[in-house]
Amino acid sequence: MKKFFLIIFSILLIDQVLKIYIKTHFKLGGGIDIFSFFHIFFVENPGMAYGVNFGVGYYGKILLSILRFFLIFLISIFLYKNIKKGYSKYLTIPISLILSGAMGNFLDSALYGLLFDTGTVYSKEYQKWIPYIGVSKINSNFFEKKGGYASFMEGCVVDMFYFPIIDTYIPGWIPFFGGYNFQFFKPIFNLSDVVISIGVFSLFIFKHKIKNVKIL
């Protein structure tokens, strides 16, 4: 049990340290180039993993945060029961990765509106998410639950990894596709998204080694 707790805690710690550093050192929409195909590019995401939001508005955002909470609760029970039963690590380790990633993004949604003094907020008047100018600071009144940029469950997820592996202009003389800029792998994501993807991929790869799974 301690090993799985260490996996989850370590990923959560690295994920949150990285996000808080990005949030407090970069302007929204700013970043640095690491390689030609790898950039640190700070964006805030009110939706799901890899920037998917399906047009999430204010109530959709709250619903998504609540859904994340219940999924974390169910995954935690599922993981605990299967660890106690001593079932395959080909199941429990990937589930630990998925749980840690889900918890990482949930913490952003649940607490970042309280933790930081400014962030992306939803305008009910214009019915869209409004970005901010400048660099965020840690809210000194966090424990008093005031002074943040949003209420509980209203924060946005911090994303920063950007891999435009292919970024090129397609000549206009090419039929149908010409005259446009083509970019392969546009999503901007974070460490939580990465470990969730690794967990899901591992379950798929090693599914033949998983037996006697204890459902909730």
Mean pLDDT of the chain: 87
Q: Spell 89-119 as b/e; 16+ CB within 10 A means b.
A: ebbbbbbbbbbbbbbbbbbbbbbbbbbbbbb
Residue at 7: amino acid letter: I
Nearest CA-CA partner of 130 in 63, 44, 26? 44
Residue 159: active-site member? yes
Question: Is 33 among the catalytic positions?
Answer: no
- Each domain of the chain, given as residue ranges in start order, spans 2-32+41-160+187-209
Per-residue pLDDT at 157 exceeds 70: yes
Question: For position 52, what pLDDT does the model report?
Answer: 63
Q: Render pLDDT for 6-48 as a digit per residue (tens, 0 to 9).
A: 999 999 999 999 999 999 999 999 999 998 889 999 999 987 6
In tens, the pLDDT along 162-202 reads 998 776 777 766 776 666 776 667 889 999 999 999 999 99
Can you tell me the distance from the alpha carbon of 142 to that of 148, in angstroms, rounded to the nearest whole number?
A: 7
More confident residue, 209 or 114: 114
pLDDT value for 1:
76
Tell which residue, 120, 101, 13, has the closest CA to residue 58.
120
Q: Does the pLDDT value for residue 102 go beyond 90?
A: yes
Q: Which of 67, 143, 148 is nearest to 112 (CA)?
A: 148
